[in-house]
Structure 1
Amino acid sequence: MRKTTKRSEKIGAESAASGNAGIPAPGEGKRGEAGYLGYLLRQAGAAHRLRMERALTDLGITPPQFVVLTMLVAYPGISGADLARLAALTPQTVSVIVGNLERDGAIERRPHPVHGRIQQIGVTEAGLALLKQCRTRVKKLEAQMIEGFSAGEEQVIRRWLASLAREGEAGGLQALS
């Protein structure tokens, strides 16, 4: 058991009493327009993921499972490694997700017709029905995200986000000298 001192007890009591008084709310201080763009992207991504989790939870699916199903439908016959890259997940995570989706009957694995050791992953009818329900909910979330933007502004945002992703794939932004 760790021995505490009066000083450490006082510091702990001060921290507990202050709560989150020094931490700005999202959208304020460095968590707002004055913040670093990378942090703001991370903060927005975390908030969006939480909204997606809440929207999909009663369907028994997680946001990464939704992404995997989406990519399997969009790009049939892709390998597990390609699926991991497309979903921006590790191969190990994709392996677990595929196992869970298979257990739940949303996907099925079949031997490749030519290469016996390769397995193809296909989305079942139940998986397609689940994905349809998920898409309806995710489209509502996306509509809320772009509310107040014109179609042109939305296109600029999409182009900017896609360019950031391309730059990441190509090795990132050039270091400033």
Structure 2
Amino acid sequence: MPAPRKKAAVPAVSVPPSRPDRLDTRVLEALVGYNARRAWLTVSTVFAERMAVYGLKQVDFSVLSLLAHNPGATSRQLCATLDILPPNLVSLISAMDSRGLIERRPHPYDGRAIGLYLTPAGESLVHEAERTVVELEAEASAKLTARERETLIRLLQKIYH
């Protein structure tokens, strides 16, 4: 019978001095995209939670808000404004139509186009949703002064306009 093996001694490992749990993010934090994404994640998480009661995603809210302020807008105009591919907008419009939020009517100036309009239910929904979004945006940007918030919005718009 072989003799029981002795456990090999584990060599002492030199532990480096403790480091903070926080990683060095200096390079990332110097990037516009990284900061815009981090801010977007913060706002969009709250947005998703608060819009769930209305059954709206961000793109749904954007389309309804545009139609509330631009009755008769065409699908082409919505696609251009929101940078949405036409096939994606078709299914979105169809879903909103099924929910009774929008209706299609002949465009007032272009006989070949169809204008999109909110129904009374759509108007009511977007009115409540816009109020909720204004509140959540105020909360999300509460660390900014009103002037800083305006400046931030203007600077972000300079990037994508």
Partner of 2:98: 103
* Offset at residue 137 of structure 1 (A): 1.3
Residue 90 (1) aligns with residue 85 (2): yes
Q: What is the TM-score of this pair, normalised by structure 1?
A: 0.69
Instruction: Determine the C-alpha separation between the residues in 2 that align with 1:151 and 1:118.
Output: 41
Runs of 4 or more consecutive aligned structure 1 residues displaced over 6 Å after TM superposition: none
Partner of 2:118: 123
Note if contact 1:31-1:40 (Cα within 8 Å) is conserved in structure 2: no
SS at match of 1:108: strand
Instruction: Determine the C-alpha separation between the residues in 2 that align with 1:31 and 1:57.
Output: 35
Q: What is the TM-score of this pair, normalised by structure 2?
A: 0.76
Note if contact 1:68-1:83 (Cα within 8 Å) is conserved in structure 2: yes
Partner of 1:162: 157
Q: What residue ranges of structure 1 are gaps of 5+ in the alignment?
A: 1-23, 167-177
Which protein shows a greater Rg?
2
Residue 67 (1) aligns with residue 69 (2): no
* Offset at residue 136 of structure 1 (A): 1.8
SS at match of 2:87: helix
Aligned CA RMSD, in angstroms, stands at: 2.4
Q: Cα 1:117–1:42, aligned 2, differ >3 Å: closer, same or farther?
A: same
Note if contact 1:106-1:124 (Cα within 8 Å) is conserved in structure 2: yes
* Offset at residue 67 of structure 1 (A): 0.3
Q: What residue ranges of structure 2 are gaps of 5+ in the alignment?
A: 1-20
Aligned length: 141
Partner of 1:144: 139
SS at match of 2:29: coil
* Offset at residue 83 of structure 1 (A): 0.4
